[in-house]
Structure 1
Amino acid sequence: MKKIDSIPTNKMGRVAKLVTTGVKVGGNYLKYYGEKAVNPNLTKDKLHENNASDIYDGLKELKGSALKVAQMLSMEKNLLPQSYVEKFSLSQFSVPPLSAPLVRKTFKTYFKKYPEEIFEEFSVDSINAASIGQVHRAKIKDKQLAVKIQYPGIRESISTDIALVKPIAVRMFNLQGTSDEYFQEVEDKLTEETDYKLELQQSEGVRKACAVIENLKFPTYYPEYSSDKIITMDWMNGVHLSEFCKSEVTQEKRDKVGQTLWNFYMFQIHKLKKFHADPHPGNFLVDKEANLIAIDFGCMKEIPDSFYTPYFEVSTPASLTNNVYFKEKLVELEILKPTDSTKETEFFTQMFHELLTVFTEPIHKKEFDFSDPIFFGKIASLSEKFANDKQLRKMNGNRGSKHFIYVNRTFFGLYNLMFDIKAKIKINDFEKYLA
């Protein structure tokens, strides 16, 4: 795999890369429409495949928050053509790594020493490379270690990347009025992910708090071998969750992993009110005994009670059958606004009632089979319906509390992981850990 010797960090450099990518995508469309004129039956499959490759190739060289966007989109299986999902999924744990000289330079800059001066053994070739940093294997005495090194200039480029994405997102999602708090929420979380001292603290906090959960493992972290740009932890043996999902394993093991993953998230959300908000396969391993290993806590989301309470009240069966109460909760969640017209109020009430009726189906049952294609078919149908809704496009899409961004992303990502695992679980099993 090609290695990267430098990353564009200034605004002009990153804009130039995005412009180059845009030119390639434009060329793909010209080629498609030229071929379409000759062959009216031509589908967009090849166009999607070419665009996905060109966009991903551009983002992977930028790394940081630009690549994080691709990572987040890869979890939205029902919102993107399959070619985009497949290509963007590579950003979860497989992108071109930094070259050995840049690794040593980065280590020297942030740790004031070269890696071989600290570790008895250190592999200059990374094991995994992703959006914010890459992982190297190291050893001290009998400890097998994983050393994550942050890419240079990532934190400094976040504001630039958000500024580039903002006007596109405002236009795509019709975010009329102020949407600054949404983008600030994303920028704050991305900035937190570049603070490895904070990640170390969060990792240790989650590890201790979740020690009661069966079949769940965490690495131990080493502050003495960590800094604000480097974090060192135990090397954990296992396969990425995506590899586990594709392998030939028993249903018993699938259910065990799925139940552990579900309990882990429900415990964090309902007990800690602070949770791991980056549910993608690259953040989880599975060992030979089908234990789940959580390895990345850079992105954590805290839920204030003012949001937690109405968020879970609005989706109860009682709420869904009481229109007055349901609307009250939508107001509390900032989905319905005092300035809404009667038409807007009724439209968004109906829309969110339809969404919540489907989306909360699993939590209203004692057991749920996440391999059920009918359930995920309903989600896909709703996604397609609202993506093509001309009336929705005319409405102000600036809806809901900023807390929806990461809470909904987490639930949607969790559902997708559970579907990939094909697990049948007990929904309320996590409650035994709440006492």
Structure 2
Amino acid sequence: MKSQNSIPATKVERATKFVKTGFKVGGNYIKHYTKRMFDADLTKEDLHEDNAHDIYESLSELKGSALKVAQMMSMDKNLLPKAYSEKFTMAQYSAPPLSGPLVIKTFQKYFGKTPQQLFDSFNMEAANAASIGQVHEAYLQGKKLAVKVQYPGVANSIQSDLKMVKPFAVRLMNLNEKDVDKYMEEVESKLLEETDYTLELRRSVELSEACSHIANIDFATYLPEYSCERILTMTWLEGKHLKDFLQTNPSQKVRNTIGQALWDFYDYQIHTLKTVHADPHPGNFLMRENGTMGIIDFGCVKEIPEDYYQNYFVLINPAILGDETKTREIFNNLEFINEYDTPEQLRFFSELFKTMIVLLGKPFHSDTFDFGDNAYFDSIFEYGEKLSKLKELRESKKARGSRHALYINRTYYGLYAMLHELKAEVRTTRPEWLLATK
């Protein structure tokens, strides 16, 4: 893959790139409808292919928060047309890498030395490149290391990038700007944290140690003396990303073992630590044929407020959903409904969220759950399609749900999606107080 020699860094340079991409997309529409005059069989999917290519190419050059938002959207298969989802998935671990001279410049800025002077050997060709940084292989005293180098200017461009992305989010989510702002603030705070490798180092050590007892999972050992706010060094973990792992045709036993490890990892963080690795895309998990798995990248971590935790998870118990007064109180606390809703809106949104909770909470209602059940996931996708067509939702300009839901929902969506691809059957261990009553 061709490397980049520079990244647009100033607000003007990045805004210009956005504008140029907009012109390209506009040109694609003109070309598409011109071609349709001569070829009636040309589909909207062809237009999506062209636009997805141009937009991804642009975001890959910009890197940072713009590319990270694309990565986040790729995790929701219902949010974007297939062409966009497939293209944006590449942002998880296959973006164009930064050129060698820029990598050396970063090391010289923070360590006063080149990577070759710090390590016994350092591969200038990136092993993986994502939205915020790229990983290089290095050796020191016989140990194989992974060295994550952040792209220059990423941290400083977050606020301006999100301002440019916001109009797109307003249109996509059909909300007014004020309501989008609270979600954008949550995204911005997490992106700023992800660019602070000193914070990531501390969280990586703390969460790795806290989760070290979980079976079939291992973590890297981090090297603080070779890390700083823009460079993070750790021991190398072997394994394959989910797509490559599945191509090895693992047995059902191995799929179940890895699936159980994933479930246990997230179950312990959410219900015991109240702090969770909130970036559950396949690029952060390294799976092996013996049923073990390495977990990397604690840059995006969500700390769950106690009051939000209590309100959010108590709804898993069907007995609570059967109590209209209690449910109304919890829905208000979670910002699903509000004091300005009309009686019709209260009924509509209450029933809508009850249906969603029952559907998405189904894995918690039995001791084991088969995430390979296509019928279950079809029902989720079908319900998503139904929601997208509801007039009441299309015309609603009010955001529904707390800002905390953004990363908690994203975490569960990513977990469910990976377990579904693994076709894993897992024991849905959970705290006693979350057990559903029969």
Q: TM-score range by the shorter chain?
A: over 0.9
Instruction: Give the match for residue 286 of structure 1.
Output: 287
Q: CA deviation at 1:346?
A: 1.5
Q: CA RMSD in A?
A: 1.5
Per-residue deviation, residues 218-244 of structure 1 (Å, max 9, x unmatched):
010000111111000001111112311
Written as runs of structure 1 = structure 2, the 5 A alignment for 1:2-401 is 2-176=2-176, 177-401=178-402
What is the one-letter code of the residue matched to 2:3? K
**Which consecutive residues of structure 2, in runs of 5 or more, have no partner in the other structure?**
433-438
**Which consecutive residues of structure 1, in runs of 5 or more, have no partner in the other structure?**
none
Q: Distance in 2 between matches of 1:245 and 1:30?
A: 40
TM-score by structure 1 length?
0.96
Q: Give yes or no for contact 2:138–2:144 (8 Å, CA) kept in 1.
A: yes
What is the one-letter code of the residue matched to 1:415? Y
What is the one-letter code of the residue matched to 2:420? F
Q: Give yes or no for contact 1:173–1:397 (8 Å, CA) kept in 2.
A: no
Q: Distance in 1 between matches of 2:316 and 2:30?
A: 46
Q: Distance in 2 between matches of 1:388 and 1:81?
A: 15
Aligned length: 431
Q: Distance in 2 between matches of 1:81 and 1:187?
A: 25
What is the one-letter code of the residue matched to 2:58? G
Q: Distance in 2 between matches of 1:209 and 1:182?
A: 29
Does 155-164 or 33-42 show the bigger shift? 33-42
What is the one-letter code of the residue matched to 2:149? I
Q: Distance in 2 between matches of 1:248 and 1:319?
A: 42
Per-residue deviation, residues 6-45 of structure 1 (Å, max 9, x unmatched):
1112111111111111111112212222233334343222
TM-score by structure 2 length?
0.95
What is the one-letter code of the residue matched to 1:187? E
Per-residue deviation, residues 111-170 of structure 1 (Å, max 9, x unmatched):
221111110111111111110101111111111111000000000000011111123322
Q: CA deviation at 1:178?
A: 4.4
Secondary structure of 2:37's counterpart equals helix
Q: CA deviation at 1:380?
A: 0.7
Does 406-415 or 395-404 show the bigger shift? 395-404
What is the one-letter code of the residue matched to 1:198? L
Q: Give yes or no for contact 1:263–1:430 (8 Å, CA) kept in 2.
A: no
Q: Distance in 1 between matches of 2:338 and 2:198?
A: 40
Q: Distance in 1 between matches of 2:326 and 2:30?
A: 52
Q: Distance in 1 between matches of 2:244 and 2:398?
A: 37
What is the one-letter code of the residue matched to 1:167? P
The alpha-carbon distance between structure 1 residues 172 and 240, as it changes in their structure 2 partners (threshold 3 A), is closer
What is the one-letter code of the residue matched to 1:269? I
Q: Distance in 2 between matches of 1:117 and 1:109?
A: 14
Q: Give yes or no for contact 1:267–1:430 (8 Å, CA) kept in 2.
A: no
Q: Distance in 1 between matches of 2:425 and 2:384?
A: 24
What is the one-letter code of the residue matched to 2:259? G
Q: CA deviation at 1:401?
A: 1.2
Q: Distance in 2 between matches of 1:222 and 1:34?
A: 57
The alpha-carbon distance between structure 1 residues 42 and 324, as it changes in their structure 2 partners (threshold 3 A), is farther
Per-residue deviation, residues 279-301 of structure 1 (Å, max 9, x unmatched):
00110101342211101100000
Secondary structure of 1:213's counterpart equals coil
Q: Distance in 1 between matches of 2:275 and 2:265?
A: 12
Q: Give yes or no for contact 1:344–1:395 (8 Å, CA) kept in 2.
A: no
Q: Distance in 2 between matches of 1:179 and 1:86?
A: 25
Q: Distance in 1 between matches of 2:98 and 2:79?
A: 31
Secondary structure of 1:104's counterpart equals helix
Q: Distance in 1 between matches of 2:149 and 2:375?
A: 42
The alpha-carbon distance between structure 1 residues 169 and 79, as it changes in their structure 2 partners (threshold 3 A), is closer
Q: CA deviation at 1:207?
A: 0.8
Secondary structure of 1:106's counterpart equals helix
Q: Distance in 2 between matches of 1:285 and 1:398?
A: 36
The alpha-carbon distance between structure 1 residues 61 and 199, as it changes in their structure 2 partners (threshold 3 A), is same
